[in-house]
Amino acid sequence: METPVSKRLLRKKSLSRSYDENLMDDYLDKQLGSSSRKRFRTKKELEKETEKEAMIALSLGFPIDALLEEEIKANVVSELDGKQQNDYIVVRNHILSRWRANVHAWLSKGQIKETVSNEYGQLIHSAYDFLLFNGYINFGVSPPFKAQMPEEATEGSVIIIGAGLAGLAAARQLLAFGFKVIVLEGRNRPGGNWRLIESLCDGVPIFYEKTVQAVRYDNDGVEVISGDQTYQADMVLCTVPLGVLKKRTIKFIPELPERKLKAIDKLGFGLLNKVAMVFPYVFWGEDLDTFGCLSRNSYTRGEFFLFYGYHTVSGGSVLVALVAGEAARSFEFTHPSTLLHRVLSILRGIYGPKGIDVPNPVQSVCTKWGHDPLSYGSYSHVRVHSSGSDYDILAENVGNRLFFAGEATNRQHPATMHGAYLSGLREASCIYRATRDGSKQTHPRKSSRKIVGSDILVNLFKYPDLAFGNFHFVFDPSNKDPKSIGLMMVAIKSSTELCHDNGKVNNTQHSDKQSLKLYTIISRVQANELESVAGGGDSRMTYLYKNLGLKLMGLDRFALVANSLISSIATKRGRDCVWACTWVPATDRSSRLLLTGSLDKTVKLWNPEVLSLVRTNTGHCLVIVSVAAHLSGKSAASASIDSFIRVFDVESNNTIATLEAPPSKVWKMQFDLRVKQLSP
């Protein structure tokens, strides 16, 4: 492949030149900051750079001169083993190199096009899309990545079981791909390295203390049962530890394939416990982050054999002692105070002879993963009669509905934090492909078309009749009967947000796209009961399910189920309500007019000087939600919630044209210049 990076080669040579372009580039770089645009390089320099980028790609698991199996399946090139494949590999490696050079910033196609010749444009698209949607670039927790989250979900819905590294990595990636996502976590907190986990949780809807008992899946979707609550979605990602799968505490309906059950049983799941201690100061030495201790007795050789100093990463004087093997099992049946006494005795035996005093810890915690019902162990391993292929089998999805992630599904990096994280990225890519690859789908992809009634529902809740915490209510204004039914919406960013609303309206700073909005039908008396429940949002949610027996639904499903009620309330709330207005410019025959659209299906023209109605125009069968006027003042347009747009003559009300547009376009309608020639 010739120069993939120099746009200089594409420039026409001028007959004469009074300056050196490379010197000019260097000067501009110094004045404006470092630039990614590359100056002309010699063939030797380009070969050296290509080799360097190939080594970076190799370190990331890509072969130097071949395609991954996943790339072949994705048809990244039209012909294998030819010039196009070689060119693709160079472009791919270049993109990976650019991403690795600054993993804190979003790498766009535009940036790649600045450094790769235009003739390789198709390969840029192919390589970039493969790397992006397979989790090789643009992942992480840096603030710039949040800005790339789409405002509306355009893909399917996914339930993720487990808020560990695998689950949260997948959740963030799926949200970036445009999926609707919720995470169910059995504990009252997420799991893993706290500083990383805290960043991964940002913007992800997580429901805590939701232990899953069953998962149903078929061609129509999935249902996840937790206690007396049922969650529905298109797909489910299970990230629970291997120990939980071994115990069969989650019932899969239908049962998992036999080969997956065998892989679960054959793989080993070991036990590694820890004693984490916070000391007043770092007595073991600021420069020491790891040290070990040998035991005289073979039966205790796994007890406190290794110590990790976390003072360089935790911000405190934290020391963690590891316990493995048989010692880890007996560890689970020993009182924490006894365990702490033993580990301090070992530390004082190490440092006492050196004249170093070992103080008592300020705080200590002992893990007991073997008896934890949400883990039943620590890490997977290949034991007798199992093999690495069992990791691959465990990672296989079932019917493009049920997916699996976690360290025990990562053959290359099992029993590691990064293995769990990477498995989450992997499965997010698998879920994305399952919705896109029509040739391999076993079920039709659900339409992402926006339901008409959902638009008016969203607008109704802009002005709720009752609101407390994250709960909002809209009722029929003409019916004050306590038993009359209305609409309820609860906006959830995470279960912690629900727990701490203290009964007040939560004016959260988080954007709408980071909130999960759920809906149900509720009576006035039920809404009043809900308001009186003490304990905040979490208690109210429990009351909603257990006492009132109500089920929450997503926007599109609720818009279908409650369509007639939504329309009725909207009509009665807005018979005299103006939902859209704009100015009609003055013409040689008329002064400036105010154009309004109402829920009574009419478009009205008003004289703003004397506040009088000039005329009423009709022509729509449903409520008017948007209006726009042409700059000439002679024609205007009105749109109803069925996405029907009528272009009409302002003076005569004669129809000039009728158009259709997506609902999202209708609500922000501006006069389409394409109908300019239709104007009088």
CATH number at residue 26: 1.10.10
Q: Identify whether 357 is part of a domain.
A: yes
- pLDDT tens, position by position, 195-244: 789 889 988 889 899 999 999 999 989 999 998 888 899 999 999 999 99
Q: What is the CATH number of the domain that holds 287?
A: 3.90.660.10
Q: Do residues 585 and 602 share a domain?
A: yes
The dihedral over CA atoms of 597, 599, 602, 605, expressed in degrees to the nearest 10, equals -30
Q: Do residues 611 and 653 share a domain?
A: yes
The helix or strand, by DSSP H or E, that contains position 262, with its residue range, turns out to be helix 258-266
Range of lowest pLDDT (51-65, 133-147, 432-446, 502-516):
502-516
Outline where 116-164 has alpha helix (H).
121-133, 143-146
> pLDDT value at position 26?
54
Q: Using an 8 Å Cβ cutoff, are 267 and 242 in contact?
A: yes
Determine if the peptide bond prior to 254 is cis (ω within 30°).
yes
pLDDT at 679 exceeding the cut of 70: no
Range of lowest pLDDT (66-80, 254-268, 293-307, 336-350):
293-307
Q: What is the mean pLDDT of the chain?
A: 83
Q: Using an 8 Å Cβ cutoff, are 662 and 450 in contact?
A: yes
Q: Using an 8 Å Cβ cutoff, are 279 and 316 in contact?
A: no
Q: Do residues 60 and 103 share a domain?
A: yes
> pLDDT value at position 623?
73
Q: Identify whether 676 is part of a domain.
A: no
> pLDDT value at position 507?
31
Range of lowest pLDDT (123-127, 314-318, 337-341):
314-318
Nearest CA among 514, 496, 603, 191 for reference residue 372: 191
Q: Which residues pair with 236 in a beta bridge?
A: 159, 402
Q: Identify whether 327 is part of a domain.
A: yes
> pLDDT value at position 397?
97
Q: Using an 8 Å Cβ cutoff, are 645 and 669 in contact?
A: yes
Q: Do residues 476 and 571 share a domain?
A: yes
Contacts of 345 (CB under 8 A, 6+ apart): none
> pLDDT value at position 302?
93
Contacts of 293 (CB under 8 A, 6+ apart): 304, 305, 306, 307, 346, 350
Q: Do residues 402 and 537 share a domain?
A: no
Q: What is the mean pLDDT of residues 164-184?
A: 94
Q: Identify whether 302 is part of a domain.
A: yes
Q: Which residues pair with 251 in a beta bridge?
A: 214
Residues composing the chain: 680
Binned at pLDDT 50, 70 and 90, residue 144 comes out as: confident
Contacts of 515 (CB under 8 A, 6+ apart): 205, 491, 492, 493, 508
Binned at pLDDT 50, 70 and 90, residue 454 comes out as: low
Q: Identify whether 454 is part of a domain.
A: no
pLDDT at 266 exceeding the cut of 50: yes
Q: Identify whether 510 is part of a domain.
A: no
- pLDDT tens, position by position, 600-622: 677 888 887 766 777 777 777 67
584 or 357: which leads in pLDDT:
357
Q: What is the mean pLDDT of residues 316-325?
A: 95
Q: Do residues 568 and 649 share a domain?
A: no
Binned at pLDDT 50, 70 and 90, residue 4 comes out as: very low
521 or 462: which leads in pLDDT:
521
> pLDDT value at position 238?
98
Q: What whole-number distance in Å separates Cα of residue 331 and Cα of residue 366?
A: 9
Range of lowest pLDDT (154-168, 325-339, 560-574):
560-574
Q: What is the mean pLDDT of residues 332-344?
A: 96
Neighbours of 356 (CB within 10 A): 13
pLDDT at 446 exceeding the cut of 50: no
Q: How many domains does the chain have?
A: 5
Q: What is the mean pLDDT of residues 528-542?
A: 89
> pLDDT value at position 455?
67
Encoding tokens for residue 450? 């926006």
445 or 394: which leads in pLDDT:
394
Contacts of 315 (CB under 8 A, 6+ apart): none
**CA 251 to mean position of chain CA atoms:** 26
- pLDDT tens, position by position, 358-407: 999 999 999 999 999 999 999 999 999 999 999 999 999 999 999 999 99
Q: What is the mean pLDDT of residues 489-500?
A: 61
- pLDDT tens, position by position, 508-530: 333 444 578 899 999 999 999 99
Binned at pLDDT 50, 70 and 90, residue 107 comes out as: very high
> pLDDT value at position 19?
44
Q: Do residues 117 and 157 share a domain?
A: no
Nearest CA among 479, 476, 482, 506 for reference residue 494: 506
Question: What residue ranges in 396-501 does DSSP mark as E strands?
Answer: 402-404, 466-468, 471-474, 485-492
Q: Identify whether 9 is part of a domain.
A: no
| DSSP class of 512 | G
If you count DSSP H runs as helices and E runs as strands, how many of each does the chain have, helices first? 23, 28
Express as a percent the part of the chain with pLDDT over 70: 83
Question: Which one-letter amino acid corresponds to residue 498?
Answer: L
- In three-state secondary structure terms, 334 is coil
Dihedral sign of CA atoms 199, 204, 207, 212 in order:
negative
Binned at pLDDT 50, 70 and 90, residue 162 comes out as: very high
Q: What whole-number distance in Å separates Cα of residue 554 and Cα of residue 393?
A: 33
Phi, psi of 254 (to 5 degrees): -70, 170
Q: Do residues 479 and 523 share a domain?
A: yes
Radius of gyration of the chain (CA): 31
Q: Identify whether 226 is part of a domain.
A: yes
Q: Do residues 124 and 222 share a domain?
A: no
pLDDT at 670 exceeding the cut of 70: no
> pLDDT value at position 443?
46
> pLDDT value at position 84?
94
Q: Do residues 390 and 263 share a domain?
A: yes
539 or 675: which leads in pLDDT:
539
Q: CA distances (Å), 520 to each of 398, 481, 532, 548, in order?
A: 32, 19, 19, 11
> pLDDT value at position 500?
39
Range of lowest pLDDT (174-188, 401-415, 508-522):
508-522
State which residues form the domain around 334: 272-367
Q: Do residues 649 and 587 share a domain?
A: yes
User: Could you identify the residue written with the tokens 């249902």?
Assistant: 223
DSSP string, 207-223: E-S----EEEEETTEEE
Phi, psi of 196 (to 5 degrees): -75, -45
Nearest CA among 96, 89, 92 for reference residue 60: 96
> pLDDT value at position 17?
40
> pLDDT value at position 9?
33
Long-range interactions of 673-678: CB distance < 8 A, separation 24+: 675/630, 675/635, 675/637, 675/647, 676/630, 678/635, 678/647
Q: Do residues 241 and 277 share a domain?
A: no
Q: Using an 8 Å Cβ cutoff, are 215 and 226 in contact?
A: no
Q: What is the mean pLDDT of residues 255-265?
A: 97
Q: What is the CATH number of the domain that holds 638?
A: 2.40.10
Q: Using an 8 Å Cβ cutoff, are 307 and 320 in contact?
A: yes
- pLDDT tens, position by position, 91-100: 999 999 999 9
Q: Using an 8 Å Cβ cutoff, are 543 and 527 in contact?
A: no
The helix-helix angle for 524-532 and 537-546 (nearest 10°) equals 140
Q: What is the mean pLDDT of residues 51-58?
A: 93
